[in-house]
Structure 1
């Protein structure tokens, strides 16, 4: 048995645990703990795991809540107590106990230094117990705030760094933590790589190594207590426009050895796809990428391109076209479908994202079977989309994506991009 699971009898420990359990129950809904069933404990285990990374079994939760009787009162280990307190909004169990102490301070008897030193003080000069209690409570609150602020301030100074951000395809990138001030090297952070890799934990001087197989930009977000505090990027560069493809996210098929394609007619044939080892009898995606550093402002540019796409393909009902403008920090994305499939359409300009499954995007209906013109214009963080000469979208965003670092054009099936052009509206620099 874990030495931390059962502690010497100390009612203050168990009172704090009971209060923590009460707050967890309140967070989970109005149902009293006496009415909880297996599905309620399973739901708590799932939510606790998603929020804190700590998954507890039903029996462990029942012991914690006192619903599963044990010879001695069960007191969970520190990692479990930290997770329980984090679930209800505290940094860790120590912070929760500090706040808990202030809630019960009115029950604390004042310390009589007079009796300890045998000094008789007139009764009318003694400080009232209520004043002592209030003063003690204020001291504890201040200590808790200072403790929390100190640790949070240190953590906010921690930055995520990619040691080798620029690479070719494929690329193994190394990420680490860096800070100009000292910080707790036992404090754990998470790094979210979006869809490019699994979320990973990191602390102190440890490093994370990730393998990226596709051309593009990977945005890594550093999380502290599930809150983003910094970002770092890795760039898988190309020499001009190249093509790659795949049937799923686990494999990538470089086409024509990732050799440069004609920018005026970006296209790969079924024969080239077959030579790359791609099974074209299954649904597949072809991606055209041009990834390189630039000085073009990602919040002030114009992009245009003529696109051709297949009408249909066996096993694929909705043939979509996706255009992605990759910046240093974030990206713009436009996913287009024919009218019958606009539920799968989407647009994203920096932090602003709208899904066709949540909002009808009929204006973005686009059929490029015989060719279609797409223009995206972003001017001072105001974005507009023009399809075949008709303005179909206008939106605004707040977070800059930085300099333009690449363009990707994706097709479900075989597609063609003709003369894509992106230039800065102020400097007229062309990508």
Structure 2
């Protein structure tokens, strides 16, 4: 960096961006988090910052040069400034107050029965005299600095319908009624990530959006900063789905190309056929299987799969893989890598976050040119993860159980998966 003040401003900008992103400490971010950050920045600013660029800015990749001005302008806009010069105009970066937290409007309490109200104590005369003042104070507290407070008794409506029952891409038509919002802006958020909300006309009733990835989402109708309605939305993968991730629209592979004798595989030849370059940056390959698992719970299941990475040339030397067990409102993230690359691993399971910098995760390093067996077991909040039959990690977890909705595999470059299933007692769900 050019000087300490410039470094301070960049760090300040990153801090503000991290707060806006609202995804916890960046120390625990994985590639998946940086991908989501890239999407969020694009939606806010219209500019795409690559995952590699973001990782360099946050110190996840070695880089000694000063970031480009266009990059800094984009980050500054995402952080709430007009451009980088506006941010640097501050002589000393000062900690700003965090954005007002999103609040969920509580349900209106039921009116007590008339007989019960009659039995209440009578107000003294001095209390009656104070009622006007109390009412004014009440209105002041409710306003909370807003120009218009949404009517908490308003009958907001929010629902959605998919244009296709299963599969990706999938358009969703949101139907809403926010006519009681007054002067406040009305938003729809497609998922839990409210930073990716988009404004909708309050005098209209429908809005359509495209989902390019399967998963479980929690769609929200927001008035200002308040969530007034929300509902679950499941986008199924319709069996196995394989894609190469890229900006805007991913590259989808035909099922007859990647599903061979119960093996899900995308090799270098297939990537070459789609003109997807392997160097210098590796393509992000994704396998999905998202479906209703019939009430399979995250605190009582077994997961079993075999994985292989078939490419280790150049930037693919570490053959990094992440296996995600997808749950409603939760996720298990299990890493694998080539031997020698175990020093930069991150694991999440049962609301526990483990990193190789302070936890021994060396048993997740394997010869990935051969099939590697991965097993995850959760029972009574006790989590065990086995690699090739060897316990790689085990701990007691404290988390809220929820339904499992599927699995996702993340490869850097070509990869293959087979023999995947969930089980619970005698029940087996083959994928």
Shorter-normalised TM range:
0.5 to 0.7
Partner residue, 1:297: 296
Alpha carbons of 1:145 and 1:291: their partners in 2 closer, same or farther (altered >3 Å)? same
1:153-211 Cα offsets, whole Å, 9 max, x none, are: 839986764322844222222335468x9665835346264789944234745555332
8 Å CA contact retained: 1:221, 1:232: no
Pairing 1:325-344 to 2, within 5 Å after superposition: 325-338=325-338, 340-344=340-344
Between the aligned partners of 2:381 and 2:220, the Cα distance in structure 1 is: 22
Pairing 1:386-397 to 2, within 5 Å after superposition: 386-391=386-391, 392-397=393-398
Deviation of 1:400 (Å): 3.7
Between the aligned partners of 1:48 and 1:215, the Cα distance in structure 2 is: 27
Partner residue, 1:412: 412
Between the aligned partners of 1:50 and 1:146, the Cα distance in structure 2 is: 26
Pairing 1:186-197 to 2, within 5 Å after superposition: 186-189=184-187, 191=189, 193=191
Size of the aligned set, in residue pairs, is 327
Partner residue, 1:253: 251
Question: Structure 1 residue 200 and structure 2 residue 198: aligned?
Answer: yes
8 Å CA contact retained: 1:320, 1:336: yes
Deviation of 1:309 (Å): 1.7
Deviation of 1:241 (Å): 2.6
8 Å CA contact retained: 1:241, 1:263: no
Pairing 1:203-222 to 2, within 5 Å after superposition: 204=202, 205=204, 207-218=206-217, 220=219
Alpha carbons of 1:273 and 1:156: their partners in 2 closer, same or farther (altered >3 Å)? farther
Alpha carbons of 1:316 and 1:50: their partners in 2 closer, same or farther (altered >3 Å)? same
Unpaired segments of 5 or more residues in structure 2? 1-7, 21-77, 88-95, 103-125
Alpha carbons of 1:58 and 1:412: their partners in 2 closer, same or farther (altered >3 Å)? closer
1:79-123 Cα offsets, whole Å, 9 max, x none, are: xxxxxx9968699xxxxxxxxxxxxxxxxxxxxxxxxxxxxxxxx
Pairing 1:279-290 to 2, within 5 Å after superposition: 279-282=277-280, 283-290=282-289
8 Å CA contact retained: 1:154, 1:182: no
Deviation of 1:273 (Å): 2.4
8 Å CA contact retained: 2:340, 2:365: no
Q: TM-score, normalised by structure 2?
A: 0.58
Alpha carbons of 1:147 and 1:258: their partners in 2 closer, same or farther (altered >3 Å)? farther
1:329-379 Cα offsets, whole Å, 9 max, x none, are: 4433223234543354223347x2526377545255321332221101223
8 Å CA contact retained: 2:322, 2:411: yes
Q: RMSD of aligned C-alpha atoms?
A: 5.0
Partner residue, 2:423: 423
Alpha carbons of 1:371 and 1:60: their partners in 2 closer, same or farther (altered >3 Å)? closer
Pairing 1:7-406 to 2, within 5 Å after superposition: 55=81, 138-145=134-141, 154=152, 161-164=159-162, 166-177=165-176, 186-189=184-187, 191=189, 193=191, 198-202=196-200, 204=202, 205=204, 207-218=206-217, 220=219, 230=230, 232-238=232-238, 240-246=239-245, 248-256=246-254, 261-262=259-260, 264-282=262-280, 283-299=282-298, 300-310=300-310, 312-338=312-338, 340-349=340-349, 352=351, 354=353, 356=355, 359-360=358-359, 362-363=361-362, 365-367=364-366, 368-391=368-391, 392-402=393-403, 404-406=404-406
8 Å CA contact retained: 1:219, 1:330: no
